[in-house]
Structure 1
Amino acid sequence: MNQSVTDGSANTSMVSVIYVLYLLALISGVTAVIGVIMAYVYKDDAPEWLRTHYELQIRTFWFGLVVGAIGVALSWVLIGVPILIALAVWWIIRCVKGLRYAGERAPYPNHRGWGL
């Protein structure tokens, strides 16, 4: 499902903005909240290939929130620090790959999975 889509009417700018907001969330977490709200708003009207990006962004936010909370809670026993580092790496990889696929006007493969 990694075919490029040439639907000229599909606007990838919002999905790209959300990926950038997610990357900025590593510095200021509030931008991720703005991004997930935008993903929910734009998801329903998007073509199917673009919807894969919005769904990935929504899943990324919620998984990141849960794992981030676990990491913070476990930081006092030091196991939380590697969890938070791994979460940040996972977050960055998903966003960078998403930006690449959006730039190619291609769906995000395996957007319902939790992996990279």
Structure 2
Amino acid sequence: MTHDPSPHAPQPSAAPDAGSGRLSGRDAAKLVYILYFVGFFLPLCALAGLILAYVKRGEADPLAAGHFEFQIRSFWIGLAACVIGGLLAIVLIGYAVLALWVIWALVRFITGLLALLDNRPVRDPDGFGFTA
């Protein structure tokens, strides 16, 4: 017995990257935020997020590209804060620097992810501020 496909069968999506096995810009930006969160426990995950953000930045739509810029800048500022905090830990003030970095990074990543989930751009991708 043969089966004729129904005219009501689901049609392939016309969305970019659908079915191609490729990660869309917005999905990649979500993944970068997740990798940054995991990076608090496994630092190499944050590095993987940075690499993904650099790779996907050029081909992303403007919304995702702004998030990638924000994520890349967050990584480099965070790395600088960790190095400074680590060096200053010798005189104990470094622990305060590291604690402030954790708060700063968490707020940036949470507000950035929430903005992305709401399809909102980052207000100032090049800024040092707490929120996206």
Q: Shared topology, TM-score over 0.5? A: yes
Q: CA deviation at 1:98?
A: 1.0
Query: Quick one: which amino acid aligns to residue 95 of structure 2?
Result: V
Aligned to 1:108, the other structure's residue is in SS state coil
Equivalent residue number for residue 56 of structure 2: 42
Equivalent residue number for residue 64 of structure 1: 78
The alignment's TM-score, normalised by the length of structure 2, stands at 0.79
Q: Percent identity?
A: 31
Structure 1 residue runs of 4 or more that deviate by more than 3 Å after TM superposition: 8-11
Q: Which structure carries more relative contact order (alpha carbon 8 Å, separation 6+)?
A: 1
Aligned to 1:12, the other structure's residue is in SS state helix
Distance 1:25 1:88 in 2: 11
Query: Quick one: which amino acid aligns to residue 115 of structure 2?
Result: Y
Task: From the CA coordinates, give the structure whose radius of gyration is larger.
Answer: 2
**1:20-39 matched pairs, under 5 angstroms:** 20-39=34-53
Q: List alignment gaps of at least 5 residues for structure 1.
A: 1-7
Task: Give 2:114's match in structure 1, choosing from 74, 94, 100.
Answer: 100
Q: CA deviation at 1:21?
A: 0.7
Q: List alignment gaps of at least 5 residues for structure 2.
A: 1-14, 17-23
Equivalent residue number for residue 12 of structure 2: none
Distance 1:49 1:23 in 2: 21
Aligned length: 109
Q: CA deviation at 1:25?
A: 1.0
The alignment's TM-score, normalised by the length of structure 1, stands at 0.89
Q: CA deviation at 1:11?
A: 4.5
Over the aligned positions, Cα root-mean-square deviation in angstroms equals 1.2
Task: Give 2:126's match in structure 1, choosing from 99, 112, 115.
Answer: 112
Distance 1:64 1:53 in 2: 16
